Amino acid sequence: MNRRRILCAACLYVLLGHSVAHGQRETERFIPIGQSPAASGKSTRIGTVEAVDAAARSFELATPEGRYKVQVPAGVPVWLDRSRRKQKALSGSFDDLRAGRRVEVKYEDAERAKRAVWIKVEVAE
């Protein structure tokens, strides 16, 4: 009987854990820069785009802690945060990364902080 309960509990844990993670990814685009309870300040950096290298699909991010080169592999979602204008977020593209824009970048590996998983770009104009 105990073995069956453990197996059921393990299955529920796997199924529910996946649903929560999937739900977070689906709703992340609608959360303003710096306000994600699951990511902001933990596995992201917030700063300003200093320079963009379109050929290398990378950009330089300036933060109070320093400057970082961020690789943006093809297929990485870029979302346009329009919350300051009280408008909903939109899907963007690598072309929306422009010098001077404030961004939040979630990294594939928070320790190494090189390859982006998703990027939010603040659009104030």
pTM of the model: 0.74
Domain ranges, residue 44 = 31-122
In a domain, 2, yes or no: no
Amino acid in position 112: R
User: Cα separations (Å) of 34 from 12, 18, 63, 117?
Assistant: 31, 24, 13, 16
Q: Give the percent of the chain with pLDDT over 70.
A: 73
Contacts of 116 (CB under 8 A, 6+ apart): 70, 71, 72, 73, 76, 105, 106, 107, 108
Q: Name the DSSP class of 84.
A: G
First-residue to last-residue Cα distance in the chain:
62
- CATH at 109: 2.40.50.320
In a domain, 114, yes or no: yes
In a domain, 94, yes or no: yes
In a domain, 35, yes or no: yes
Read off the pLDDT of residues 62-79 as tens digits, 9 standing for 90 and up.
999 999 999 999 999 999
Read off the pLDDT of residues 79-97 as tens digits, 9 standing for 90 and up.
999 988 888 888 999 999 9
Dist. CA 21–CA 117, nearest whole Å? 14
In a domain, 16, yes or no: no
In a domain, 58, yes or no: yes
What's the domain count of the chain?
Answer: 1
In a domain, 26, yes or no: no
In a domain, 20, yes or no: no
